[in-house]
Amino acid sequence: MDATHRAAANPLAQAAESLPEGLALTVSVVARAAGAALALYVAFDQSYDRTQVVAVAIAVVAALSVVPVRGNLGGWISVFACGALFFAGALLLDQTAGVGMGIAGAVGAVATLAGMHRSGKNAASAVGALFFSLGAVVALVFAVLLLIEG
């Protein structure tokens, strides 16, 4: 069985192949931009300094990720930002905007990975970016807890 036949037998690969490449990438950008806007909303809505700092940092990461970068690095950056939105949103599940951040991150990551698969790019390192983003969000929260008062 060749690699093309195996990929076609994978239901996730079939779903990715059924999406137009441009649509997947557009959904990814829109999801990251929406996640950045929701993170900024959290920053302005909260009076707790630590939450504001974390939300602004996540908004900056998500907003910067919409700048086009070619190759696998662009996919890695996109998935990293989506993971940051997802995991920061998980920390803010008590707020509607936090739930929205999590959804935006999940949708954006799936769309980015589908677009990468559709364009023939190796998505394996981009999947690793999800795990890296979890560590980055935990490190950010830990640093904010140590360095920011109230």
Q: Where do the domains of the chain lie?
A: 19-147
Judge residue 147's burial from the number of C-beta atoms within 10 Å of its C-beta, 0-12 exposed, 13-18 middle, 19 or more buried. Answer: exposed
**Most confident of the ranges 11-20, 56-65, 67-76:** 56-65
What pTM was computed for the model? 0.88
Q: Is the pLDDT of residue 116 over 70?
A: yes
The model's pLDDT over 125-138, given as tens digits with 9 standing for 90+, comes to 888 999 999 999 99
At residue 2, the pLDDT reads: 47
* Rounded Cα gap, residues 101 and 68, in angstroms: 21
Q: Do residues 75 and 116 make contact, with C-beta atoms less than 8 angstroms apart?
A: yes
Q: Please give the structure tokens belonging to residue 106.
A: 């999940």
Q: Report pLDDT digits (tens) over 9-20.
A: 677 778 777 877
